[in-house]
Chains A and B, each alone.
Chain A
């Protein structure tokens, strides 16, 4: 049990560090997914099936996907050209060590560590559901409301963006990267439409009826 925990913990930590330090954003996101999986494994090790599976479903199935999707849509997963570590890394490390020491001190001296652990609960899904729907129903509703509001906000922002971005893509694309310009066939719009009209007119006698609309078109 201890060994399994050690392996999972090490894997989670290493991938979390990698998620912070790798230069390629997609690699970072994938490492983050591994870290999420490690967390889920820990929950499962604690016999918390529901939380473990929900972790996989939500974090790997949705959050990690969302992250890589965002990366794809914005930067195409290009590695950043410079190092991800800032110049003042010594100060950062110092602060981190300091915070770690403080936290350790506080935790060790708190009364929580002296208390003996309660008996391990083994909640079934049914119990979790009952709890959520009775005792925790208000927080659940509040969270639902919050998420709905966030979703609506995101939709509104996206709709505004689309409205402002609706220009003539073709022109911008040409300006964007002087691509070999194709002689635009639309130019034919201004061309003379009379050639076919006269040809059909001369070669097809009057008993060759054409619908009204076509006459208009050809006469244009």
Chain B
């Protein structure tokens, strides 16, 4: 009897999740005694998230290697399984069976704790993202703040890894990582503040709800990325999130041609795998936040497509951003650490602060009523952010006399 109820609840839960219905877990939870319900509920929420993102992680590593291979005119991994799709499994097995080496002079406890301390916050960050219409693990009033708070605590883990290894490359890598992450956290937060300001809420659910309208007969979504401040904020958010997740061209903490592997130099086996996983999880989380803040979260791009389950849109947008990250990684060389910091402080920070002003102007010009007001608003915002962009860009490159050069030839 109980077992029948359990399976009925389980089926209903899956059905309701698949069809975007609310209260998915209610019937299943009713099977259990009330005292056990909070724990069961938590397990039911957490395990699919970890499972889905772990699968996504495996797929992304494969996608990245395949994509980079194709960008570089190679085939990419193609040995394990058909078209190499079992490559992540092979990688995982390799990682798990490798010897776990702790350097003799390392600080063993901190060396052990660092990957754990890194993995926990990156997984915690998934707690506040709305994955679908009724799929929010924790609907928190200060959700965005929570996200940034847990994101900030990963820096300490990287420092722990770099310092405890007692390796000069690790130490240099850790110092670079901290400098970089602190610098880019500010533009990251400020560029999302413009969204928070317009939406008037720190709750991801509320922010998505505000992007749920459609204009022009359902063909233009009301996403924040389609406003001038939103576009600028989105681009800055993307650049800052590349830096936050240590992806190329901001992969200087683990720049393999300079610092071997930075803070990961002395890690092997499962601990290395944890770092690797945390890096990808961080990338997913920050892309998920970008989707939430700027790309309308789980909303479909056109109104008539809303019949497709909402989580499909969320994950499609997420993977789109991940592909963009891979594409960038396959193209650009790495910045130097001081240029990186200059870029953060002299370009990103002023521009993101200015973007706040643009967002405010956008907010207060909403009352414009004359014909062509929408276009005028748009152009005003674009000019307000575009002119300083050109000016700051010129100033940043002009300060060091960086120019296009011509060359002499002797016969």
Q: Which residues of A contact B (CB under 8 A)?
A: 24, 26-27, 30, 33, 37, 49-50, 53-54, 56-57, 60-62, 64-65, 68-69, 72, 76-77, 124-126, 209-211
Contacts and interface: CB of A to CB of B under 8 A. Distances in A.
Q: Is the interface of B mostly helix, strand, loop or mixed?
A: helix
Contacts of A26: 110, 163
Contacts of A33: 156
A72 B163 CA distance: 9
A77 B110 CA distance: 13
Interface string B173-205: 011001100100100000000000000111000
B142 interface: yes
A interface: dominant SS = helix
Nearest to B140: A49
| 5 cross-chain pairs, A with B, having the tightest CB-CB distances, nearest first | A61-B152, A56-B149, A53-B149, A57-B149, A53-B145
A206 B156 CA distance: 67
Contacts of A68: 156, 159, 163, 178
Contacts, number: 76
Contacts of B410: 209-211
B408 interface: yes
B148 interface: yes
24 contacts: A26-B110, A26-B163, A27-B110, A37-B153, A49-B146, A50-B145, A53-B148, A56-B152, A57-B149, A60-B152, A60-B153, A61-B152, A62-B182, A65-B155, A65-B182, A68-B159, A68-B178, A69-B175, A69-B179, A72-B171, A77-B163, A125-B141, A125-B202, A126-B200
B181 to A, nearest CB: 8
Contact of A62 (B142, B151, B152, B163): B152
B63 interface: no
Contact of A64 (B140, B156, B201): B156
A85 B160 CA distance: 26
Nearest to A40: B149
Interface of B: 107, 110, 140-142, 145-146, 148-153, 155-156, 159-160, 163, 171, 174-175, 178-179, 182, 185, 200-202, 408, 410-411
A209 B202 CA distance: 71
Contacts of A62: 152, 182
Contact of A61 (B155, B174, B201): B155
A141 to B, nearest CB: 17
B201 A126 contact: yes
B408 A211 contact: yes
Given A61-B185, A210-B410, A124 B141 contact: yes
Contacts of B185: 61
A27 B110 CA distance: 9
A30 B156 contact: yes
Given A60-B153, A72-B163, A125-B202, A53 B146 contact: yes
A41 to B, nearest CB: 12
A216 B356 CA distance: 56
Contacts of B155: 61, 65
Given A33-B156, A62-B152, A69-B178, 16 more contacts: A26-B110, A30-B156, A37-B153, A49-B145, A49-B146, A60-B153, A61-B185, A64-B156, A65-B178, A68-B178, A69-B175, A69-B179, A76-B171, A124-B141, A125-B201, A209-B411
A57 B152 contact: yes
Contacts of A50: 142, 145
Contacts of B411: 209
Contacts of A60: 149, 152-153, 156
Contacts of A72: 163, 171, 174-175
Contacts of B153: 37, 56, 60-61
A219 B159 CA distance: 55
A26 B160 CA distance: 9
Contacts of B150: 56
A93 to B, nearest CB: 29
A199 to B, nearest CB: 17
Contacts of B148: 53, 57, 61
A124 B202 CA distance: 10
B175 A30 contact: no
A206 to B, nearest CB: 13
Nearest to B160: A30
Nearest to A124: B141
Contacts of B174: 72
A68 B159 CA distance: 8
Given A26-B163, A68-B159, A72-B175, A125 B149 contact: no
B163 to A, nearest CB: 6
Contacts of B163: 26, 68, 72, 77
Nearest to B189: A57
